[in-house]
Structure 1
Amino acid sequence: MRFDIPDKQSSPTICPSVSYVQFNLSSCIKLNYLVLNGNGILLSDCASTSTAEPLVGIVLTSVDPSQCVDPPRVLPSIEDIKICDVTCSSTGLRSLFGTLLTLDHVVTCDLRMIYIECEEAAEIELCAFIHKDLNNSFNIQTNNDNPYLFKALHGLNIKSLSAKWGVFDGSHEESLSQSLASFTQLETLSIQVWSGSPELWKALHGLNIKSLSIIEYLNVDHVESQSLASLTQLETLTLYVKKYKQLELPQSLKYLNIYCNALLPSKILELVDTLPTCTQKVGSNLKLSCSLAFLTVVNIPLEEYTAIQQELETRKNVTVERFQITDGKLETIFFKHCQKFNDLS
């Protein structure tokens, strides 16, 4: 189904006397492809109090999955949504995301240019591409940290969130922090950003997630140890950074993966020494798996790196599974055997 509706001023073919038409999508149970194009369209839900005067109103009313055990499905067959140059009420955008989360199949949603009505009667432009995968997994790609995107997601039943930003300047850290904290079912979080800020790490503070992956290409000195240490349920941490610095890691960690541009030999041993000891009672054979991949420093002799393998192999609590240097890149996988609870005295 496709709607191409320009506004009255931009389309001389539309009669000025044409009245407002409303179309409710709840009846489209077999619809699998939807295109909304043109600023003569308003996307909203029944609760919307929009002041816009469109030619066509598209109503999408969805029950919030977090507020209903078995919510009724709207657009149960939809697979692909494209929305361009359309005005959207703040509640309408949330209803759209809530609809996606009720579906048990993959859906793509391309928001090429929509205008969100905000409280100040202004309109905020938003562009984003969303891939809703199985098991309430959301993948979002956008140019910047738009607060109205975060607000529309607030409190939804998202279990896995992958967000890719061009720039996160930190100006909307509070909005992001509140939205992340509201995802009570969130277990996996992956963030990829070209340019970040310390506020990005502050927004992660205290989350009850089990897996965290951060890819930050620029401004990599922003890693906040306090934020990482506050993730007391974290089991898997993956960092892609330009420069590694010492981190305070949570004791719950089981898998650590670090990829960086360059690392001095002394820093590798320093990292091993600062890994969590996992002294809480979690089992008799607990071990921390650590995977490192980085470029060797050009003016450092390779012998200094190979000596690290020998040093690690002499340690009783470390098992080296792989240690390889190829074309200036060192890759190693080792296990640090954590102290048993019964051994503590």
Structure 2
Amino acid sequence: MSTHRIGLIGCGGIAGAWIRAVAEHDECQIDWAFDLDAEAATRRAEEVSGQAITDLDKGLASAVDLVVIGTPTSSHPTLVQQAATAGKHVMCEKPMALGLDDCQKMIDACEAAGVQLAIGHSLRFWGAFLKTRKLIAEGAIGTPVSGSIDRLGTAKAQAAEEVEPAADHWRNDPANTGGHALEGFIHELDFTRSVFGDVATVTCEIGEERAVDGFVSPQIIQGVVGFENGAVVTTRTGSTVGVPTRGYWIAGSEGGLRFDGWGGPVELYRRDAKDVELVACEQVYAYHLELKDLTDAIDGVHARPENDGANGLANVSLGLALYRAYETGSRVSFTDGVADLPQGYRNLKY
């Protein structure tokens, strides 16, 4: 019998990633799959030879000790608090929540129940990101002092008159997702914080989607993030027409690192070397490493998972700070790594 019995909450696309992660973990099994859509629950349950359920209370009353939540962001706070009250450890997909108040409620509920909480920032566990963090920890480039983190999609030129209304899907409304800085780019924001530490200030400009010369210019978000240690990083996300722009570089006091693909290789520039060194990366499955990190915390191997609730809150804070800085035209300051935002602040527009 597996050590950790798991309930899957939400049977959309991301559920497949977690099913594979559990399959690669020798001490885990999925007992049931929950979704309000009975057909979706049945499909996922059949993949794992588990039970399909549409009554979450029934699942939380079962013997599972861990739940994986992969539902729309707005549902995360309620589901995490419900699972914690039932005594279940929680892996909750990113972003943690749409506002800092809800993030804190999730943390408080899990701490009160004595259960572990991890937030699904998987990017830091993919090969190139994992290798970069390891090289920095080993001192390969000295102290990181600056960087550029770009996650920009390539769009085709589209005439403004040909644009169709967005489909009626929850992801198309920033009131449901928090905007792309939270829904997608929060992965890179998490990685950036894992390298540079606590954020001190943020400024941001957003090129909003608009018609230019009869064609659609897609949204692009460009931020400058200052850290408590004095480091400065530029961050970019959105889309550009025709130009492939994804890439990551980090400059240190004694060298630098750069890569494009998540699987590597990583280019290592040492101060005493003439040529760049190509560093191979392990071909890992990030979701498996992420799950293992959580189960190790549950088993007492370490106190908390890397992606604990406090880390998830700090990432949401950074994403929201980008929007707040653009809205106000002013720099957003941080206290102890968390943005100084108005109570209840959300991004509802961009």
TM-score, structure 2 length as denominator?
A: 0.26
TM-score, structure 1 length as denominator?
A: 0.27
Bigger relative CO (Cα 8 Å, ≥ 6 apart): 2
Larger proportion of strand: 1
Larger proportion of helix: 2
Larger Cα Rg: Structure 1 or Structure 2?
A: 1
